[in-house]
Copies of this chain bind each other. A is one copy, B any other.
Amino acid sequence: MPRSSNPSAAKGGPVTLTQVARRAGVSAQTVSNAINSPDMLRPETLERVRRAIDEMGYRPSRAAQTLRTRSSRLIGYGIQPALSSSPVLDRFLHALSQAADEAGYRILLFASPSGGPALDGYEELLGQHEVDGFVLSGTERGDPRQAWLTKRGVPFVGFGRMWSGRQIGDWVDVDGASGTDAAVEHLVARGHRKIAFLGWERGVSGAGDDRAEGWQRAMRRHGLSTRGRRGQSVNDTDAARMAVKPLLDAGATAVIAASDMLALGCYQMLRERGALPGRDVSVVGFDDSPAAELLSPTLTSLAQPLEEVGRECVRLLLDRIASPDAPPERLLLEPSLVVRDSTAAAPHGAAR
């Protein structure tokens, strides 16, 4: 017999444990056991209970479970207004939500006001015992949240490491340096030697410095000079356009940008000079934003493994909830280079 489509709406309120128990001819506790520790039951009884559950379309009430077990199976996430306008956050949120679902948890959103993360929202969710833990993102320099949560013994995981001071708590992050390093490898393999880096100003963004660092170390490893090959700009196509100019003037045959937005600025300057990205100068972006695929020529970019980040955030958080005193766990994941049309072999004669 197929499960009836919506028994609970048919009459009265929702189906309860006790009703299922009556139907299966067992006690309520046994039905509970059938769900939570099935191997405690005699196979025959289990089968009978399961049939009753199925026929009646029973679903345990989350509220009652939460009340009794003191665990809501909810993860709090403070959503910030997209000040950084990172194309990453909403994809991350989907990945996070999916990973949580698979673990039997859900994401509970609350609005974090703009202008620095306030702690009020966290306090309120905790006070009402609504969540079992938090996932933080958009962590800034001197972010107070980690210390605050640690002090109260609240489980949390950050997406993003601490960029200043000592590390606190668990986190998952993407290894930006390793990404730009791989981009250099990719370009070197295609004959490029004069590889420039276009990033943000030094010191304002930990992630930005990290990405520059990877480029630098890979260049050094190949014995290539980085002098005069590093440009700085704010995250704005026009500023990027200007910042990339001296790099091109110095003969760079490839540019690695710290974001797709910056890469777009490179595109504009190249167009102005009558040069074609890919054919004349190779360009690599960072984040693999939706635009990367839509630009023409399509943009080679470093994709953050957001699904994996989401999965690992959930895993680390659940581990932390299970054992609050275990040593902190930190995970650095590799971005992957998505090669598209904006990178190709170095123009002949420019190789050295």
Residues of A within 8 A of B (CB): 6, 8-9, 13-14, 57, 59-64, 66-67, 70, 72, 74, 77, 79-82, 85, 87, 89-91, 93-94, 97-98, 100-101, 106-111, 121, 124, 127-130, 152-153, 235-238, 241, 261, 268, 271-272, 290-291, 294-296
Structural contact, B106 and A101, CB atoms closer than 8 A: no
Structural contact, B111 and A94, CB atoms closer than 8 A: yes
Structural contact, A290 and B67, CB atoms closer than 8 A: no
Number of copies: 2
Q: Do A294 and B235 form a contact, CB below 8 Å, given A67-B67, A111-B98?
A: yes
Measured in the bound complex, the distance between the Cα atoms of B91 and A206 in whole Å is: 25
Please, which residues of chain B bring their CB within 8 A of the CB of A87? 87
Structural contact, B110 and A109, CB atoms closer than 8 A: no
A208 to chain B minimum Cβ distance, whole angstroms, is 17
CB < 8 Å neighbour of A296 from B60, B74, B98, B241: B241
Please, which residues of chain B bring their CB within 8 A of the CB of A237? 291, 294-296
Please, which residues of chain B bring their CB within 8 A of the CB of A77? 109
A149 to chain B minimum Cβ distance, whole angstroms, is 12
Q: Do A97 and B79 form a contact, CB below 8 Å, given A110-B106, A236-B294, A294-B235?
A: yes
Structural contact, A127 and B90, CB atoms closer than 8 A: no
A239 to chain B minimum Cβ distance, whole angstroms, is 9
Please, which residues of chain B bring their CB within 8 A of the CB of A268? 271, 296
Measured in the bound complex, the distance between the Cα atoms of B306 and A81 in whole Å is: 12
The winner among A60, A61, A235 for most chain B CB atoms within 10 A is A61
Please, which residues of chain B bring their CB within 8 A of the CB of A294? 235-238, 261
